[in-house]
Copies of this chain bind each other. A is one copy, B any other.
Amino acid sequence: MPPMPAPPDLDPFDRAILSILQKDNTTPQRAIGERVNLSAPAVQRRIKRMQERGVIRANVALVDPARVGHPITIFVEVEVESERAELIDAAKRGFATVPEVQQCYYVTGEADFILVVTVATMADYEALTRRLFFENNNVKRFRTFVAMDRVKVGLEVPVGAPHLP
């Protein structure tokens, strides 16, 4: 089980900064400071703290898959034969190392894994399913959902207000 650190308490300043950075992390600290009523160095210190605490996981450029030769996005629901720990772990490692697999989640429910895959052509996807599923004895069944429209691709996490369960 991964360590689950107590959620660092973020005050309204932190949340405001996060919501800006999630949209555009090239926003100058001075500009952020003006919007949240803080000096640039104060903003800087808060950002550094959130990075150290793991609130901010990474700073990245988001690339449009369609414009780099991967126009097709596919969701795949995978069901396995056995849920034995070693087999599950092996499957996790297997999926995680495939570049075409953008996201992979281990889930409860009627499936065991959900993958998000991007490929250039359906032929590539077909080849991928061979490698990933047909050659894997532990895969019982998989279902394919081809994305026709990316209605919302935002990765922003709502930071509006803390939730007290």
- One complex includes copies of this chain to the number of 2
Take A55-B67, A63-B157, A157-B70 as given contacts and tell me if A108 and B148 are in contact as well, using a CB distance cutoff of 8 Å: yes
- Chain B residues with Cβ below 8 Å from A41 are none
Q: Pick the contact of A75 from B26, B105, B163 — CB < 8 Å?
A: B105
Number of interface residues of A (CB under 8 A): 79
User: Does A39 have its Cβ within 8 Å of any Cβ on chain B?
Assistant: no
Instruction: Give the complex CA separation of A105 and B114 in angstroms.
Output: 14
Q: Verify A25–B152 contact, CB threshold 8 A.
A: no
Instruction: Give A141-158 interface residues, CB cut-off 8 Å to B.
Output: 143-158
- Chain B residues with Cβ below 8 Å from A133 are none
Q: List, sorted by A's number, 11 A–B pairs whose CB atoms are closer than 8 Å.
A: A15-B68, A25-B61, A54-B64, A63-B156, A77-B77, A104-B151, A105-B148, A106-B147, A109-B143, A110-B143, A121-B163
**Which A positions have Cβ atoms within 8 angstroms of B?**
4-5, 7-8, 10, 15, 18, 21-26, 53-71, 73, 75, 77, 92, 95-96, 99-111, 113-114, 118, 120-121, 123-124, 143-160, 162-163, 165
